[in-house]
């Protein structure tokens, strides 16, 4: 897709099975994604003293209508006063958003994906210094006829503790543009696919407040309810 300018993270990824129950964005250039946002993020388990881990996603992405492809910048930050030690970031896709690659990270096998997700990558960091951040280039596809969500949990290296989780948070638009070269999507917006008479969105399953990664021993907090219903507008 696009040239990669960020360094690949080195370090071993702890072997852990992700089988269980669970857990963006770009234009043709990352510079067009707007400022990063922690919308839909929540601290989960207590981090070590002096460590403050969060994530950021772009406020907007752009999906190319011909191939339904997009690029996302996912960022993990340590806003604390002490180095983090070994941690890992997960990048997980849901519904119409499928993560196809995260540079420098390892794909989670389909059988080990969290329940309800369709794709995911695990990114190992040996350490994240106090005040530092690390950004990853994420390649994804987005089915514009559906809804789409992404989730960024930050865990201990063995997956036993989840310090922070952003999402699953939607990208979407209430103003589809099928005849344009690309469709802009906003973070925290439920997608309204192009449909005759404004048909309601496809349902994406029951809302979840807790989405545990059982085999990894992590608890992932899901933000918001999935599958919001939209009522067709009828002229009077």
Number of domains in the chain: 1
Residue 4 domain flag: no
CA 14/CA 156 separation, integer angstroms: 10
117 vs 110: CA distance, rounded Å:
9
Looking at the chain, the whole-number percentage of residues with pLDDT higher than 70 is 68
**Digit-coded pLDDT (tens) for 201-225:** 444 443 343 344 433 333 343 333 3
Integer Cα distance of 218 and 48 in angstroms:
16
Average pLDDT over residues 107-129: 94
Instruction: Specify if 139 maps to a domain.
Output: yes
Domain assignment of residue 95, yes or no = yes
In a domain, 11, yes or no: no
How far is Cα of residue 14 from the mean position of the Cα atoms in its chain? 21
CB-CB contact of 119 with 18 (8 Å): no
Whether residue 228 is contained in a domain is answered as no
User: Dihedral of CA 202/200/70/75: which sign?
Assistant: negative
pLDDT at 198 over 60: no
Q: For residue 2, is it within any domain?
A: no
234 within domain boundaries: no
Q: Domain range holding 96?
A: 23-194+211-221
CATH of the domain at 97: 2.60.40
The mean-pLDDT minimum among 16-20, 102-106, 126-130, 212-216 falls in: 16-20
The answer to whether residue 227 is domain-embedded is: no
- Average of pLDDT values for 54-61? 97
- Model-wide pTM > 0.75: no
Determine how β-strand 20-21 pairs with β-strand 97-102.
Answer: unpaired
SS3 32: helix
CA distance 132 to 213: 27
């Amino acid at each position: 897709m696009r040239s990669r300018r960020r360094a690949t993270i080195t370090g071993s990824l702890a072997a852990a099975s992700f089988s269980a129950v669970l857990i963006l964005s770009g234009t043709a250039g990352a510079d067009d994604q707007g400022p990063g946002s922690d919308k839909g993020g929540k601290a989960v388990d207590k981090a070590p003293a002096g460590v403050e881990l969060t994530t950021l996603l772009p406020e907007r992405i752009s999906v190319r209508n011909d191939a339904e492809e997009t690029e996302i910048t996912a960022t993990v930050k340590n806003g604390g006063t002490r180095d983090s030690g070994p941690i890992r970031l997960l990048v997980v896709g849901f519904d119409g958003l499928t993560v196809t690659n995260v540079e420098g990270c390892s794909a989670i096998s389909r059988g080990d994906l969290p329940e309800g997700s369709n794709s995911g990558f695990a990114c190992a960091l040996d350490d994240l210094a106090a005040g530092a951040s690390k950004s990853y280039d994420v390649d994804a596809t987005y089915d514009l006829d559906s809804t789409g969500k992404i989730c960024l949990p930050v865990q201990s290296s063995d997956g036993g503790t989840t310090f922070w989780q952003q999402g699953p948070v939607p990208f979407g638009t209430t103003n589809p543009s099928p005849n344009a070269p690309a469709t802009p999507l906003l973070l925290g917006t439920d997608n309204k696919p192009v449909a005759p008479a404004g048909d309601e969105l496809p349902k994406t399953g029951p809302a979840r407040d807790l989405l545990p990664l059982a085999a990894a021993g992590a608890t992932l907090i899901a933000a918001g309810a999935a599958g919001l219903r939209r009522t067709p507008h009828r002229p009077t």
